[in-house]
């Protein structure tokens, strides 16, 4: 279970940079260069994402895997936005986090009663 979470975390670091890193680091590059660089980075995302899901399905239901993925995605994205992209931290980050906590609660609540 922890190996799945760790691989999903690493996968999301690659994904976030592939999707959004070029907005800062390749602003003046040609779009085809940015696409190729992003695809190259995304390859490593998939190298962690696919095995994480194959392993994780033994511990989590499919909806649980998806919500776990979304929570990790937003956590990594939030850190990336604030630290790397210098987006100001606002109360909306808190509100979004509360929504993610509630999503996790509802998707995992059946496991709490077991």
Give tens-digit pLDDT for 18-65.
Answer: 999 888 888 888 999 999 999 999 999 999 999 999 999 999 999 889
pTM above 0.75, yes or no: yes
What is the pLDDT confidence band of residue 100, given thresholds at 50, 70 and 90?
confident
Using a pLDDT cut of 90, give the percent of the chain over it.
57
Nearest to 78 by CA among 68, 88, 63, 64: 88
Task: Identify the residue with better confidence: 15 or 1.
Answer: 15
| Alpha carbon distance 72, 94 (integer Å) | 15
pLDDT reported for residue 84: 93
Q: Which of these, 80, 89, 91, lies nearest to 23 by C-alpha position?
A: 80
Higher local confidence (pLDDT), 114 or 13: 13
Position 112 pLDDT exceeds 80: no
Share of the chain above pLDDT 70, in %: 97
91: which residues sit within 8 A by CB, 6+ positions away?
Answer: none
- What is the Cα–Cα distance from 61 to 45, expressed in whole angstroms? 21
What is the per-residue pLDDT for 113? 60
């Amino acid at each position: 279970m922890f190996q799945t979470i760790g691989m999903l975390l690493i996968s999301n670091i690659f994904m976030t940079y592939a999707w959004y890193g070029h907005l800062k680091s390749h602003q003046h590059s040609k779009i085809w260069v940015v696409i190729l660089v992003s695809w190259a980075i995304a390859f490593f995302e998939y190298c962690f994402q696919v095995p994480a899901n194959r392993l994780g399905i033994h511990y989590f239901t499919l909806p649980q895997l998806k919500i776990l993925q979304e929570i990790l995605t937003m956590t990594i994205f939030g850190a990336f936005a604030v630290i790397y992209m210098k987006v100001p931290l606002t109360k909306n980050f808190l509100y979004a986090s509360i929504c993610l906590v509630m999503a996790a609660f509802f998707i995992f609540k059946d496991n709490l009663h077991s």
